[in-house]
């Protein structure tokens, strides 16, 4: 099956990105045809500094490669390297009902969080639909909070197919339920926009300070505690075995344990999980030309697919190109 997903280069990636999405991406590349991209057009809704956007985009690519993405098997590319995507976005906009976009909870949530509303933010789901449909994607691995966007994509694809013929594959969301939402250090969903993230490659004193500063309630050491409302526990169980998770759960409920003890174990687990990837990340930082080559080749492979799909789209809507475009 063809798998498609993108990630915004709007800030440093964090463990919420890893457990909520990237880990799935890396697992899915083994037995599927995977296309993963840096969602640079989407990032324009929040990142206004061109140099920062270029640096963040390269950084996301380095993160993927450090974590084990295989560029021979998987197509890794920048969104802007496939300009056909924005052409498809306009065509899909012309079949997308306004009510569909007005019901998108993500837009409302972002505006409520303080982002300035603009058309790009509002029309985000249409561009996302173009991202998915232009590669005839079968499945899209997403967090639970993005499930509505896949439903919107399916609605747009079905409406287009009903009006113009069966051009697009109707994609399915692929959600790993138990890690769909990863809490940040303040208990809300971990997000760059909230500033509550724990960086994947953070280390040393900075990592320790971040973990030990996780917000908890005021329960005393001897008090029984509910593990399922405790941010340290929810983060801990992402990396522990079922047996260890159950042991911690029992200790929470029995009382006699302070949150500091849980945080220290969480710090150990973060070191165990991510320290093996740090040296690979440093190697990539020393060889950005290699990363650029990977992205250029990925863009070429992705655009080859998008070019063929856009030919079918143009023919379907009555907009065939009357000359041969440059290769």
Q: How far apart are CA 53 and CA 316, in angstroms?
A: 35
- Active-site pick, 108, 147, 159, 192: 192
Helix, strand, coil % over all residues of the chain, rounded to 5: 60, 10, 35
Q: Assess whether 192 carries a catalytic annotation.
A: yes
Structure tokens at 44: 């324009």
SS3 279: helix
- Active-site pick, 110, 225, 237, 263: 110
Phi, psi of 324 (to 5 degrees): -85, 120
Phi, psi of 108 (to 5 degrees): -65, -40
Q: Assess whether 304 carries a catalytic annotation.
A: no
Q: DSSP for 189-219?
A: BP-GGGT---BTT--HHHHHHHHHT------
Q: How far apart are CA 230 and CA 100, in angstroms?
A: 36
Structure tokens at 7: 């990630």
Handedness of CA 129, 179, 116, 103 (dihedral sign): positive
Beta-bridge partner residues of 172: 139
Q: Are 56 and 43 in contact (CB under 8 A)?
A: yes
Q: DSSP for 107-153?
A: HHHHHHTTPPP-HHHHTHHHHHHHHHHTTT-SEEE--GGGHHHHHHH
Q: How far apart are CA 204 and CA 301, in angstroms?
A: 39
- Active-site pick, 108, 189, 209, 237: 189
Q: Assess whether 110 carries a catalytic annotation.
A: yes
Which DSSP state fits 240?
Answer: S
Structure tokens at 137: 């994607």
SS3 79: helix
Beta-bridge partner residues of 35: 4, 75
Residues with catalytic roles: 110, 189, 192
């Amino acid at each position: 099956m063809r798998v498609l997903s993108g990630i915004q280069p709007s800030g440093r990636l964090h463990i919420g990105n890893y457990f909520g999405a990237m880990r799935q991406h890396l697992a899915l590349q083994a037995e599927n045809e995977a296309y993963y991209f840096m969602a640079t057009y989407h990032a324009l809704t929040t990142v206004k500094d061109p140099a920062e956007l270029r640096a963040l985009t390269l950084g996301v690519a380095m993160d993927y490669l450090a974590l084990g993405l295989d560029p021979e098997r998987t197509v890794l590319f920048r969104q802007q390297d496939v300009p056909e995507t924005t052409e498809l976005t306009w065509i899909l906009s012309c079949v997308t009902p306004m009510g569909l976009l007005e019901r998108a909870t993500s837009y409302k949530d972002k505006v409520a969080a303080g982002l300035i509303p603009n058309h790009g933010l509002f029309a985000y789901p249409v561009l996302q639909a173009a991202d998915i449909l232009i590669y005839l994607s079968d499945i899209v691995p997403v967090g639970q909070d993005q499930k509505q966007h896949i439903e919107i994509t399916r609605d747009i694809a079905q409406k287009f197919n009903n009006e113009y013929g069966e051009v697009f594959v109707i994609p399915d969301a692929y959600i790993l339920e138990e890690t769909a939402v990863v809490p940040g250090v303040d208990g809300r969903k971990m997000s760059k926009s909230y500033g509550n993230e724990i960086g994947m490659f953070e280390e040393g004193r900075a990592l320790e300070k971040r973990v030990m500063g996780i917000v908890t309630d005021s329960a005393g050491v001897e008090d029984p505690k509910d593990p399922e409302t405790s941010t340290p526990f929810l983060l801990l169980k992402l990396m522990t075995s079922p047996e260890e998770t159950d042991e911690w759960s029992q200790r929470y409920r029995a009382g006699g344990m302070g949150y500091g003890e849980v945080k220290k174990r969480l710090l150990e687990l973060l070191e165990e999980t991510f320290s093996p990837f740090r040296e690979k990340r440093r190697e990539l930082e020393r060889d950005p030309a290699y990363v650029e080559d990977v992205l250029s080749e990925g863009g070429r492979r992705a655009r080859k697919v998008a070019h063929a799909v856009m030919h079918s789209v143009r023919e379907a809507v009555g907009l065939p190109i009357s000359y041969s475009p440059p290769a």
